[in-house]
Amino acid sequence: MVNLSRRTALGAGASLLGITAIPRFAIGQADNRPTITVAVQKVVNSNTLDVLREQSNVGERVFFTSLWEPLISKEWLGNLSPRPGLATEWKRIDDQTVELKLRQGVKFHNGEEMTAEDVVFTFSRERMFGNSEAKNRTTLKAFEKIPTPRPGKELPPEIIAVARRAWPDLLRVEAVDKYTVRFFNATPDVTLEGRLARYGSDIMSRKGWEDAASYLDWARKPITTGPYKVVEFRPDNMLVLEAHDEYWGGRPPIKRIRFIEVPEVPSRIAGLLSGQYQFACDIPPDQISQIEKNAAFEVQGGTILNHRLITFDKNHAQLQNPLVRRAFTHAIDRQAIVDSLWAGRTKVPAGLQWEYYGDMFHADWRVPEYNPKLAQDLLKQAGYKGDPIPYRLLNNYYTNQNATAQILIEMWRTVGLNVEINSKENWTQIMERGSQRAVRDWSNSAPFSDPVSSIVNQHGPNGQQQQIGEWTNAEMNQLCEVLETSTDRAKRRLAFRRMLEICEREDPAYTVLHQNATFTAKPKSLKWQASPAFAMDFRPGNYV
């Protein structure tokens, strides 16, 4: 019989407690990852975290790569070229069908494994398309009955429109097996892979959707696969993300990320300098040198997938003659704007295109050269008599917008163009039809790596510029169809070249000023690299 004294019993008890307690304590202590605060001008505009509802630059920053992930990802810290995401490989079955093999062992934030069923649901009518139809479909198949949304889960109507704009001809997505899916398009389309990588094609958990009480509940805390999960979201105030330790790409390097809304630039900078924030985003270019005077801080960032444009209303009395619009384009010293207002930290791109277009990129294309003499000659040929041309202007919606406008006015005045600023308060007033609409500011993004995503999307027949009646061109519209439906890459490339010639030279719809850029300030001691996009990458390997 064991003789158990009081002292031995207490000692044994203490040892047992120690055995059970020490590992927990050790695990608790081992998580010495930092909590960081990122000061941003705006967390999201729509007060939701749904990639289809929040289609904005600020949304891109908090979504990618922390929260949402697509099947085909981008090289976020490189040239944004495609790379495997939640799919490890993909192949074409035919011109209308793509098959993807899913990454195995991917866990959603709720602990469930991602399977083909989740991918099919992500692209379902219940989540994306509602009662909309693919543009070119002619029959309604019996197995694709339109489901009646459950109460509270009705989609906001703009989501359906956004989804259809992103996937105009997608018929259906099918699960071949647990880890294989096929995307069926109604028409041949070479951009399917690009569309799979675009903002909005990111995968969500079906169970996460079903468990949520309402659309809004889900949209405030979507269950996705990213390295960080939502723990708190206070609209117009802050978003707190926490490490998702089962992340397929490894253990996230940060315990918590707090994106906090600090609308004023001086307040963001003051918070950074005082150590309250580790990152201050949306730093205007004129503040960069001021921040970097302090040797402990640096400003990172640069160009993003967005170009600043000036657009023309060819119906305005003075702009009907394309020679006048051409004069506008040749009167602008774009490099001077980049050097003086952007501290040289962005660039004048090769027209409305981006290098990540790959073989569709025309490296030899240039924006119209700065040539005041040519501009004067063009005006003379056009018989322009100096009649006023209104320039509708918003108050610094874009970075440096007012200063750029003032410089442009002077450059145009130098060649003889009498452009008058007409200040407006919002976009409705800017785009309002009428005899006083002539010149305005705009920007153009490339959500995926093909010109369909930019020049067709905004300047084509279904793009906003034509829809609001500013500009149209019959040849351009035919070429848009070629670009959208042809699978002949050489023919598409030629078509795009011709579109650039029409829109930027012969019958200018717009002229590109410069590539847009975003800047983030941080302590030098933090080893982190900004991507050439609004997205902030805090995945394993990019934060020490």
Partner 1 sequence: MGRFIILRVGRALITIALVVTFAFIVLRLSGDPAQIILGPEAPPEVLAAFRRAWGLDDPIWLQYLHYFGAIAQGELGRSMRDGRSAIEIVAERIPITLALTVPALVLKLGIGIPAGVYAALHRGSLTDRIVMIVSVAGFTIPSFVLGLTLVLVFAVQLGWLPSGGQDSWRHAILPILTLGIGGAAILARFTRSAMLEVLGQPFIRAASAKGVPWQDVITRHALPNAAIPTVTIIGFMVGTLIAGAVVVESVFSWPGVGRLLVVAVANRDLAVVQCILLLVAATMVISNLIVDFLYGFLDPRLRSAKGQKAAGGQP
Residues 6+ apart with CB under 8 A from 12: none
Distance CA 316, CA 530 (A): 42
Backbone phi and psi for residue 403, each to the nearest 5 degrees, phi listed first: -65, -40
Stretch that binds partner 1, among 117-125, 224-232, 260-268, 313-321 (CB under 8 A): 260-268
Here's the x/- map for partner 1, 423-452, by CB under 8 A: it reads as --xxxxxxx----------xxxx-------
538 and 35 Cβ atoms separated by less than 8 Å: no
Q: How many chain residues bind partner 1 (CB under 8 A)? A: 54
345 and 415 Cβ atoms separated by less than 8 Å: no
Here's the x/- map for partner 1, 311-350, by CB under 8 A: it reads as ----------------------------------------
Residue 158 CB, shortest distance to partner 1, in Å, is 5
Residue 41 CB, shortest distance to partner 1, in Å, is 10
Residue 99 CB, shortest distance to partner 1, in Å, is 29
Indicate the residue among 261 and 282 with the shorter CB distance to partner 1.
Answer: 261
Stretch that binds partner 1, among 48-56, 202-210, 359-367, 408-416 (CB under 8 A): 48-56
Distance CA 191, CA 167 (A): 10
Q: Could you say whether residue 148 binds partner 1 (CB under 8 A)?
A: no
CA-closest candidate to residue 46, choices 236, 182, 186: 236
Residue 165 CB, shortest distance to partner 1, in Å, is 5
Residue 204 CB, shortest distance to partner 1, in Å, is 18
Residue 114 CB, shortest distance to partner 1, in Å, is 27
What is the token pair recorded at 288? 């960069």
Q: How far from chain centre, in Å, is Cα 401?
A: 20
Site for partner 1 in 80-119 (CB under 8 A): none
Q: Could you say whether residue 216 binds partner 1 (CB under 8 A)?
A: yes
Stretch that binds partner 1, among 4-12, 47-55, 72-80, 378-386 (CB under 8 A): 47-55
Among 161, 176, 317, 494, binds partner 1 (CB under 8 A): 161
The answer to whether the Cα torsion of 312, 344, 81, 196 is positive or negative is: negative
Indicate the residue among 191 and 457 with the shorter CB distance to partner 1.
Answer: 457
Q: Could you say whether residue 271 binds partner 1 (CB under 8 A)?
A: yes
Residue 239 CB, shortest distance to partner 1, in Å, is 12
Indicate the residue among 376 and 443 with the shorter CB distance to partner 1.
Answer: 443
Indicate the residue among 261 and 313 with the shorter CB distance to partner 1.
Answer: 261
191 and 448 Cβ atoms separated by less than 8 Å: yes
Surface-to-core class of residue 56, CB atoms within 10 Å of its CB (0-12 exposed, 13-18 middle, 19+ buried): middle
497 and 541 Cβ atoms separated by less than 8 Å: no
Helix, strand, or coil (residue 517) = strand
Indicate the residue among 233 and 357 with the shorter CB distance to partner 1.
Answer: 233
DSSP 453: G
Among 95, 107, 153, 160, binds partner 1 (CB under 8 A): 160
Among 36, 51, 55, 511, binds partner 1 (CB under 8 A): 55
Indicate the residue among 201 and 225 with the shorter CB distance to partner 1.
Answer: 201
β-bridge partners, 170: 185
396 and 366 Cβ atoms separated by less than 8 Å: no
Structure-derived torsion over alpha carbons of residues 150, 156, 160, 161, reported in degrees to the nearest 10: 160
Stretch that binds partner 1, among 16-24, 205-213, 384-392, 459-467 (CB under 8 A): 459-467
Cβ count near 275 (within 10 Å): 10
Distance CA 439, CA 422 (A): 10
Site for partner 1 in 362-401 (CB under 8 A): 397
Q: Could you say whether residue 265 binds partner 1 (CB under 8 A)?
A: no
Q: Could you say whether residue 46 binds partner 1 (CB under 8 A)?
A: yes
Q: What angle do CA 327, 330, 331 make, to 5 degrees?
A: 85
Here's the x/- map for partner 1, 463-482, by CB under 8 A: it reads as xx--xx--------------
Backbone phi and psi for residue 293, each to the nearest 5 degrees, phi listed first: -65, -30
Cβ count near 524 (within 10 Å): 12
Among 67, 173, 260, 348, binds partner 1 (CB under 8 A): 260
Among 11, 23, 250, 263, binds partner 1 (CB under 8 A): 263
Distance CA 456, CA 469 (A): 16
DSSP 47: S
3-state secondary structure 126-170: HHHHCCCCCCCCCCCCHHHCCCCCCCCCCCCHHHHHHHHHHCCCE
Q: Could you say whether residue 28 binds partner 1 (CB under 8 A)?
A: no
Contacting positions for partner 1 (CB under 8 A):
39, 45-48, 55-56, 156-158, 160-162, 164-165, 216, 219, 234-238, 260-264, 266-267, 270-271, 273-276, 397, 425-431, 442-445, 457-458, 462-464, 467-468
